[in-house]
Amino acid sequence: MGMNVGSSSGDDEVVSTINTTPLVDVMLVLLIIFLITIPVVTQSVTLSLPKETNIVRVTKPENVELAVTKDGDIYWNTALVPDTEALVKRLGKVSVLNPQPEVHIRGDEKARYESVGKVVYACQRAGIMKISFVTEPPARGG
């Protein structure tokens, strides 16, 4: 190992070069850290996610349109259904038809999940096989 003490002539020259050794050391340490942590970050549970499909709703006269308001009121087309037991009875009459009609649920965006869940549970209890949720498509360009 050598050391530069100065020149013998007495003229001190300014060293204008940048010592890059500490920079290279830091960059190598960061590279090693990233190489170690990347496999940890990319690990996830393997799932088969559903593919998004956009099916146009076909409105048939035999389909049942249920609406859930933000207050939790349930409407069969435009008629108010007093409670979920009455809904189950009406859906039970419809579920025995052949072919069985679809149930389209339109839930207000401010409705509680519990209110919509009660309607889905009522459909399940009545034996309805196909339930669809009616939504608005997102605005174009945003």
Model pTM score:
0.58
Q: Percentage of residues in the chain with pLDDT exceeding 70?
A: 73
* pLDDT at residue 128, as a whole number: 92
Domains recognised in the chain with CATH numbers: 64-133 (3.30.420.270)
For residue 68, with 0-12 CB atoms within 10 Å meaning exposed, 13-18 middle and 19 or more buried, which class applies?
A: buried
pLDDT digits (tens, 9 = 90+) for 45-80: 565 555 555 666 667 777 899 999 989 999 998 889
Average pLDDT over residues 85-101: 92
**Backbone dihedral region for residue 115 (phi beyond 0: left; psi -120 to 50: alpha; all else: beta):** alpha
Stretch 134-141: mean pLDDT: 70
